[in-house]
Structures are given as structure tokens and as C-alpha cells.
């Protein structure tokens, strides 16, 4: 399949939230977020013909987005900064101050995780099941379970320490 302008616009419109979240998790500032967002979009369009309907489209999209983000981080030798998450949390759609504070704390804690753990917790927060997460990240379902327990414990300890 070829990624024409109409197809790409539809994909981008339907999945821009996923792409934005991945961009936020793996960059230090808004400019880098926008650059990564564009790079992910480019890679999705470029790789569109490799999607074979063997998995859900969103699984394939997450895999492309996460692989692109991790590659960019390695390439640029960037570290995600907690302060950036804290400053740029306006992307989160929260309505009251209590919820906003909790979301800020959560994102601040998530920003301290390693790249793979960030991807895993993002997928879990997106309510992907263990099988989908395993497929996207290329790890076993039991490994997803073990890692999630550890990540949740780590996040809880980090948030309680804030």
C-alpha cells in the first residue's frame, strides 16, 4: 500500500494523540517534540507499505512511533528531563487543579523511567492488553507483566517521594 496524501491525513488525524504522547515522553522541549512528531509522521508514511494486516493497525503504529523515538534519542543522545514534562504538561487534558497536580506528578515520575519502561507504561495507560504490549515491544507477555509490576512500584515510590 502506498501512503497518499488523503490516507496520510486520515492516519494522522485518527492517531495524532498517540504520536504526540510518544513525542512528549522522549524529548526535552517543545521544539524537539515537534521535530520528533514530524519524524514519526514521516516514518509512518514511509513505512506504510510494510503494514500487512497481521496485527492491529494501532499496534504497528505504536511500534513505528516508539522505534522512531528511541532511534532519535540514541541519535541525539538526549535524556528526557523531568522539568520539561512539568513545564509542558499542558498537553494533558485535565480540568481541575487537583487532577492537574496528580497528572503532573505522574508525568514527572514517568520521565525518570528508562526508554523501554516509558513505552511500556504509555501502552498500559492507553489500555492496551498485555498481548498487544508484548507484540508492540517485542517481548513476552509474562515479561510485560513482570515489568509492569516493577514500573508501578517504582512510580509509586517516586510519586510518594515528590
Per-residue pLDDT tens for 64-97? 999 999 888 777 764 444 434 444 444 444 444 5
- pLDDT given for residue 43 in this prediction: 92
Q: How many domains does the chain have?
A: 1
- Mark the ranges of the chain whose per-residue pLDDT is less than 70: 1-3, 77-100, 162
Per-residue buried b or exposed e for 43-75, using 16+ beta carbons within 10 Å of the residue's own CB: bbbebbeebeeeeeebbbbbbbbbbbbbebbee
- pLDDT given for residue 144 in this prediction: 94
Task: For residue 92, give its domain range.
Answer: 5-161
- pLDDT given for residue 162 in this prediction: 62
What grid cell was written down for 85?
514534562
Phi, psi of 2 (to 5 degrees): -105, 150
The residue count for the chain: 162
Is the overall model pTM greater than 0.95, yes or no?
Answer: no
Amino acid at each position: 500500500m502506498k501512503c497518499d496524501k488523503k490516507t496520510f491525513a486520515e492516519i494522522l488525524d485518527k492517531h495524532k494523540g498517540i504520536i504526540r504522547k510518544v513525542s512528549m515522553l522522549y524529548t526535552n522541549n517543545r521544539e524537539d517534540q515537534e521535530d520528533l512528531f514530524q519524524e514519526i509522521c514521516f516514518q509512518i508514511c514511509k513505512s506504510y507499505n510494510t503494514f500487512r494486516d497481521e496485527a492491529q493497525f494501532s499496534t504497528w503504529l505504536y511500534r513505528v512511533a516508539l522505534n522512531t523515538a528511541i532511534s532519535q534519542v540514541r541519535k541525539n543522545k538526549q535524556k528526557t528531563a523531568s522539568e520539561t514534562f512539568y513545564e509542558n504538561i499542558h498537553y494533558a487534558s485535565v480540568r481541575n487543579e487537583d487532577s492537574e497536580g496528580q497528572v503532573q506528578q505522574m508525568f514527572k515520575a514517568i520521565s525518570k523511567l528508562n526508554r523501554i519502561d516509558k513505552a511500556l507504561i504509555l501502552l498500559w495507560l492507553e489500555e492496551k492488553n498485555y498481548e498487544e504490549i508484548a507484540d508492540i515491544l517485542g517481548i513476552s507477555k509474562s515479561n510485560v507483566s513482570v515489568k509492569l509490576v516493577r514500573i508501578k512500584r517504582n512510580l509509586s515510590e517516586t510519586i510518594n517521594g515528590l
